[in-house]
Structure 1
């Protein structure tokens, strides 16, 4: 579907088209990451208005879905849904419904109830849940505890200890909402991103957008640069939020719901025995998924990361309209079949 060749070079900016039009840029810290916006528009005043509308939407979504804001709808749900059914917004119901869809598609590899244990981690302070706590809460982790009634618009957790976190889907949803706003304003060429999630409208004035996939162990480099247009791309990696523990293991933010712990990726040691390398063959440190919208590519990139190389790529092959690039713990890159042989 995507006649893509991976390009290992940067491209200079182009400015084709009407001389009175130009690129407009903005960057703001929202949703715990940097939101970047680049649009082509002929009117500076209206471009400023459009930019403000997009950033306001990111802030609105953050205010509703952040687990760190006490007054967010998500926080209120986590406080009360374990006690009984609570009324939720159409937006939250839709996001939870989509999350449950991917939980079923992945046999629970994608599961927003990971927060039952994951919420006890603090990556800035290098804190993690101990084994006893993790083991005691593990039975409260599982998407089957989520009882969503779309008809009545209510949500209930069957286990009172269960909590949810939408970090694996909310930013993908947000970039899609940003694109909706841009299209309402008639924008035909734009690039909007929030952390590892990006959506592209059109091309870059006659040439494709060149989207970099960050090198998972050297933030100053790209592992690959991909030419794209009119699509979404989401990347999940063990380098986004992490710390190194006393045993030299990388403790990161992508959890395996089956264990209640961060998905095992790779140790910090650079030298590994051949046996260790063989054990790591399925473990991933970066996953990028390409598809029509971020609402799908975001949860899919998380799913593939948790599933590992073989099962993760098999999932992508089953999903119509999606492609993936994965980097394993030995820093080897693999591609889904639609990307061909770069």
Structure 2
């Protein structure tokens, strides 16, 4: 799991939970995990489950980090054992790559790491290094055989674009299995709203990238996830004034500074997390076609400050 410096964590929290004042029936606790601030809101009677949920998040993060370390340090064709959970996540990466026509690819870390992402220090790598890395990347260079995995060259992988959402879903699953019917799990903007709050849907505000005290939209959701990807999260400016953001197109090897932000509503957080990046890599016309096919409302804030609502996003604004 990609880790972000604690000093800039609060810049990345995309959502603000809007709740009724003087409501003592819910309790929220925050802690650091997944490279961000994780906030868990549950009914007061279920407060004892917050610590249990926190430990699950920590354990899942540790397991995925361990996998990254093993595969990224392995030599070409060296087989690494994987469990069913990691295998499932890898299969998901193939799906996300396919629906994006190869633009989304977990092996893009081979290139983004040259720039210093995710933690920095950031730098502009030599063209030769980028060109060499571009010839190596591609999910097709990762091979699964039964309970093992190996790579056929020295590429690096990072599933951070959707693994955080997956862990949020697992946290929600734990709460549900323990009888919790209404809750919020928010990992720095990867948010799932379970059930409702006092008979009303949860209201989630999506922050404005350019105006800290304003919102792009406020949506009402129940049993849905909302995730945002933005060009204001992790980025740096080169000496010649080019903005290099953390999202890269695997077909070109270049940064994809295509929008200011894209928000997605989906049935689970992993899907919303991945699609917020997938859509970021696509032109508006293709976003519209894909969100219609996948039934995932999308809010796009363009580089020229236009707000575009696709696939019935506005139906959640009530």
Write out aligned runs for 1:187-206 (5 A).
187-206=180-199
- Residues 18 and 204 of structure 2 are in contact (CA less than 8 Å); yes or no, is this contact kept in structure 1? no
- How many residue pairs were aligned? 299
CA shift, 1:39, in A, is: 0.6
Closer, same or farther: CA 11–292 of 1 in aligned 2, 3 Å: closer
**Helix, strand or coil at the partner of 2:41:** strand
Structure 1: 5+ residue stretches without partners: 1-8, 67-71, 266-282
Write out aligned runs for 1:1-342 (5 A).
13=20, 22-42=25-45, 46-47=46-47, 49-66=48-65, 72-80=66-74, 82-122=76-116, 124-149=120-145, 152-158=146-152, 160-263=153-256, 265=257, 283-319=258-294, 321-340=295-314
Closer, same or farther: CA 229–87 of 1 in aligned 2, 3 Å: same
Deviation string 1:56-88 (CA, Å, 9 cap, x unpaired) is 11111221223xxxxx12111112263333211
User: What TM-score does the superposition give when structure 2 sets the normalisation length?
Assistant: 0.88
Tell me, in whole angstroms, the C-alpha distance in 2 between the residues paired with 1:120 and 1:299: 22
- Residues 17 and 205 of structure 2 are in contact (CA less than 8 Å); yes or no, is this contact kept in structure 1? no
* Aligned-pair Cα RMSD in Å: 2.1
- Residues 226 and 263 of structure 2 are in contact (CA less than 8 Å); yes or no, is this contact kept in structure 1? yes
Tell me, in whole angstroms, the C-alpha distance in 2 between the residues paired with 1:10 and 1:77: 37
**Helix, strand or coil at the partner of 2:281:** helix
Deviation string 1:212-236 (CA, Å, 9 cap, x unpaired) is 2121223343221111111011111
Tell me, in whole angstroms, the C-alpha distance in 2 between the residues paired with 1:54 and 1:332: 39
Tell me, in whole angstroms, the C-alpha distance in 1 between the residues paired with 2:148 and 2:125: 30
**Helix, strand or coil at the partner of 1:169:** helix
Structure 2: 5+ residue stretches without partners: 1-15
CA shift, 1:259, in A, is: 2.1
Deviation string 1:161-183 (CA, Å, 9 cap, x unpaired) is 21110110111101100101111
Tell me, in whole angstroms, the C-alpha distance in 2 between the residues paired with 1:174 and 1:218: 30
Closer, same or farther: CA 61–127 of 1 in aligned 2, 3 Å: farther
Tell me, in whole angstroms, the C-alpha distance in 1 between the residues paired with 2:19 and 2:93: 39
Tell me, in whole angstroms, the C-alpha distance in 2 between the residues paired with 1:256 and 1:109: 5
User: What TM-score does the superposition give when structure 1 sets the normalisation length?
Assistant: 0.82
Deviation string 1:222-262 (CA, Å, 9 cap, x unpaired) is 22111111101111111111122212222111111112232
Once superposed, which parts of structure 1, at least 4 consecutive aligned residues long, lie more than 6 Å away?
Answer: none
Tell me, in whole angstroms, the C-alpha distance in 2 between the residues paired with 1:24 and 1:11: 14
Tell me, in whole angstroms, the C-alpha distance in 2 between the residues paired with 1:129 and 1:63: 30
- Residues 88 and 153 of structure 1 are in contact (CA less than 8 Å); yes or no, is this contact kept in structure 2? yes
Closer, same or farther: CA 205–14 of 1 in aligned 2, 3 Å: farther
Tell me, in whole angstroms, the C-alpha distance in 2 between the residues paired with 1:170 and 1:127: 26
Closer, same or farther: CA 93–156 of 1 in aligned 2, 3 Å: same
